[in-house]
Structure 1
Amino acid sequence: MSEAEPRPGERLIIQEDCAEDKLKNGILTLTNQRLIFEKTEGRMTTLSKKTEEVLLDIPLEKISASKSEGFIIAKVVVELSDRSYKFGVLNTGHWAKEIMTQVNKSKPT
């Protein structure tokens, strides 16, 4: 089973083709349990993309903050305790808000 395969009780929240500053092109997926970034490789002849490998698989409890950054080239910034990732998604505000909504929902009450 691939790391990106859904886990028991896991459901898709949002998913988008994007790029991360250092990891390059891929698919960013937010579920109710984790944030996943899968590297993709485009094929010009068929205009399709192939998923190559899971580069990030971050449990929601490891995310300390998420925010929108920039104006012309906007990014959603996901902060962990020891590093941050910047993803170029279409609606950065929506992503930042939804990530934090899921992080807060995943916290034990």
Structure 2
Amino acid sequence: MDPDEKRITQEDCSEDSLGPGILTLTNKRIAFDKTEGRIIDFSKRFGKTILEANLNQITEVAKEGRLIKKVRIKIKTDKDEKTYKFGVYNTGKWEKDVKEAMSKYTP
């Protein structure tokens, strides 16, 4: 993280196509790090970062689902636009936090 970057929220979750990992929201970006865990000793460690985007690359944030609730984040890059669906504990809080961080973001 940059010296002026602050973590807003972080959660162990799963993304539909990427699998389990840690979703992190800062005042500058959103990132998803793959995790590797072992059941035998209940250890979990960070793997590589497989998704990282500045807040100005996010084009849509919404919550969805009735039984299985997810927060949907659409990210636009120079090449394409992709939608990610994260199974986080509190979808409403994540939606609010991401939108608030986006409104305060200055590149």
**CA-atom RMSD, angstroms?**
1.1
Corresponding residue of 1:70: 65
1:34 alignment partner AA: R
Q: CA deviation at 1:107?
A: 4.3
Q: Residues of 1 paired with 2:70 and 2:53: CA distance?
A: 18
CA contact (8 A) 1:63 1:80 kept: yes
2:12 corresponds to 1:17: yes
Counterparts of 1:1-109 in structure 2, within 5 Å, are 6-81=1-76, 82-107=81-106
Q: Residues of 2 paired with 1:79 and 1:55: CA distance?
A: 15
TM superposition outliers: structure 1 runs of 4+ over 3 Å: none
1:20 alignment partner AA: E
Which structure 2 segments of 5+ residues have no match?
none
CA displacement 1:58-108 (0-9 Å, x = unmatched): 100000111110011000000123111000000001101110110111047
Number of aligned residue pairs: give it.
103
Identity of aligned residues (%): 45
Q: Residues of 1 paired with 2:73 and 2:23: CA distance?
A: 12
Q: TM-score, normalised on structure 1?
A: 0.90
1:41 alignment partner AA: E
Q: Residues of 2 paired with 1:71 and 1:48: CA distance?
A: 32
Q: Residues of 2 paired with 1:35 and 1:93: CA distance?
A: 17
1:48 alignment partner AA: S
Which structure 1 segments of 5+ residues have no match?
1-5
Q: Residues of 2 paired with 1:65 and 1:40: CA distance?
A: 25
